[in-house]
Structure 1
Amino acid sequence: MMGRLSKIAGQQVTVTVDDDVNLAQVSHLSQGMVPAVELHIIDKRKISPDQRKKIWALLNDLCNYTGDVPEDWAARFKYKVQLDFGVKPFSLSNCSVAIGNYMILEILDFLFAEDIPFQTKLWDSLPEDFPRQRLCLRNRTCVICGQPHADLAHYTTVGMGRNRRTIDERKMYFMTLCRKHHQYQHQVGIQAFCQQYHIKPLKLSDDDLLRFKILTNRELQKLQENDRD
């Protein structure tokens, strides 16, 4: 469903959609609960030379490991961006900033998943926004320094008198931190830590909670059954 952003007042956003809203379909999709929506702002800015340079640096790192041709991998990742993000065919010479970020994230996601080493400085290549946090959560790398095998940190502290077995992960906000940064976060407090590093922990969809192995299917089904009780 497409529309236009009509008004912003603090956390209140008004969107005028292009077509009439089918309330029956909305109710069906949200299973009778208050529906959650995702707001995507179409980025009209063009890819920067720095973004393009980082993309080809990462591709060269990949091909130094595999012995392949960078242009071949570029075509593969462009196709994957089209599939995963629902964008039309594009050129790296004049695509948007957002698509350039998607391309970087797809390449890094592959390098993480295949454990392929690369020389390009990681955190100079990651977009400073929501996709970066998702990438770190998916691969359990520290959102601050990029160290692997990071802890899953909750914005609302788990423990401290709370029963972990009764936590509803659907209501939590997450980030991934290495042990050093996780300990520092506890020392200075979560709010001060997030302000210092300009982090906004993420609240995840049910699909992402399963995809990132935070919940099992059985655990999610039990939480959904509790909603109906």
Structure 2
Amino acid sequence: MNIYSEVTGNRTNDKGEQLLTIKLDKNIPGYMLERYLDENGQLSGEFTLFDNRIITAPQRKKIHAIFGDIVKATGDGKSDYDIESIKYDMKLIFCEQEKIKMFSLSEKSKTCTVTLASQFITFLLDFCMEYKIGLTVPPLSLVEDIKHYLIKCLHERQCAICWEHGEVHHVDTVGAGRDRKHIDHTKHELMCLCRTHHQESHTIGQITFAKKHHVLGVVMNDEQFKKLKYKG
């Protein structure tokens, strides 16, 4: 049962638990509430917040920058028609993949939220990475979902900093004398770095490296690590 609701209150109780007051668009009959009780007499459900924020100017700038790079890789990079056709094609593929309606990047249309724009930017970066499309600006300056991005770089073996061919780098040290083939890599922070940036991380130290490039390592779960196909 899905019912539209409005959050009218927000407070924290003595236990530090957040309590929201929700006004439903329509009342739920008592017999329906009883029907959904579990064996312990408790009622539970899933709460979803809608993003009412509209795509921001920086997000639009990122999207159009990526469009420009895709055009340069596939056409002459000068035609406005190329930009519009790439925009349409990318939105169409994305919408079919996510099973959503077509949207506009215009602020006036109010059909693209901040969340949707973030997901679209992630999709575009994945596309560029998979098809080896170079970017004119540092990739990290475009990223919205940093964890997804770092894992994608690891899977594609592309340096998270410059997109050159990279190798798996342990951000936190494994320890001298330990066999990398017999350690649990899901307990360690990983990052894909090319030889140049890998050497830089060792030369200036990981803390300085992280501050310079504004990036940390990522911990992968079992499924993500298996896809990595890393033997140590």
TM > 0.5 fold call? yes
1:44 and 1:183, CA in 2 relative to 1: closer, same or farther beyond 3 A?
farther
Please state how far the C-alpha of 1:202 moved relative to its aligned partner. Answer: 0.9
Asked if 1:116 is matched to 2:133, the reply is: yes
Which residue pairs with 1:97 in the alignment? Answer: 114
Please state how far the C-alpha of 1:167 moved relative to its aligned partner. Answer: 1.0
Which residue pairs with 1:179 in the alignment? Answer: 195
In 2: Cα distance, 1:119 partner to 1:51 partner: 16
* Maintained 8 Å contact 1:77/1:103: yes
Which residue pairs with 1:132 in the alignment? Answer: 149
Asked if 1:162 is matched to 2:170, the reply is: no
Please state how far the C-alpha of 1:154 moved relative to its aligned partner. Answer: 0.9
* Maintained 8 Å contact 1:155/1:174: yes
Unaligned regions of 5+ residues in structure 2, if any? 1-9, 20-35, 40-47, 76-81
* Structure number with higher helix proportion: 1
Asked if 1:49 is matched to 2:57, the reply is: yes
Unaligned regions of 5+ residues in structure 1, if any? 8-12, 23-39, 220-229
Structure 1 residues 187-196 or 201-210, which shifts more? Answer: 187-196
1:1-229 equivalences in 2 (<5 Å): 45-66=53-74, 69-70=85-86, 71-80=88-97, 82=98, 88-89=100-101, 91=103, 92-93=105-106, 94=110, 95-119=112-136, 122-127=139-144, 129-144=146-161, 146-158=162-174, 160-214=176-230
**Could you give the per-residue CA deviations for residues 143-163 of structure 1, whole angstroms, max 9, x where no partner exists?**
23x232112111222352212
**Structure of greater Rg:** 2
Q: What is the root-mean-square deviation of aligned Cα atoms in Å?
A: 3.8
1:128 and 1:165, CA in 2 relative to 1: closer, same or farther beyond 3 A?
closer
Tell me the TM-score normalized by structure 1. Answer: 0.63
Number of equivalent positions: 185
Identity of aligned residues (%): 29
Tell me the TM-score normalized by structure 2. Answer: 0.62
Please state how far the C-alpha of 1:174 moved relative to its aligned partner. Answer: 0.7
In 2: Cα distance, 1:179 partner to 1:195 partner: 19
Which residue pairs with 2:23 in the alignment? Answer: none
**Could you give the per-residue CA deviations for residues 91-124 of structure 1, whole angstroms, max 9, x where no partner exists?**
2343232321221221221222122345465443
* Maintained 8 Å contact 1:59/1:74: no
In 2: Cα distance, 1:199 partner to 1:64 partner: 28
**Could you give the per-residue CA deviations for residues 2-47 of structure 1, whole angstroms, max 9, x where no partner exists?**
xxx987xxxxx9688xx9999xxxxxxxxxxxxxxxxx99765431
1:199 and 1:60, CA in 2 relative to 1: closer, same or farther beyond 3 A?
closer
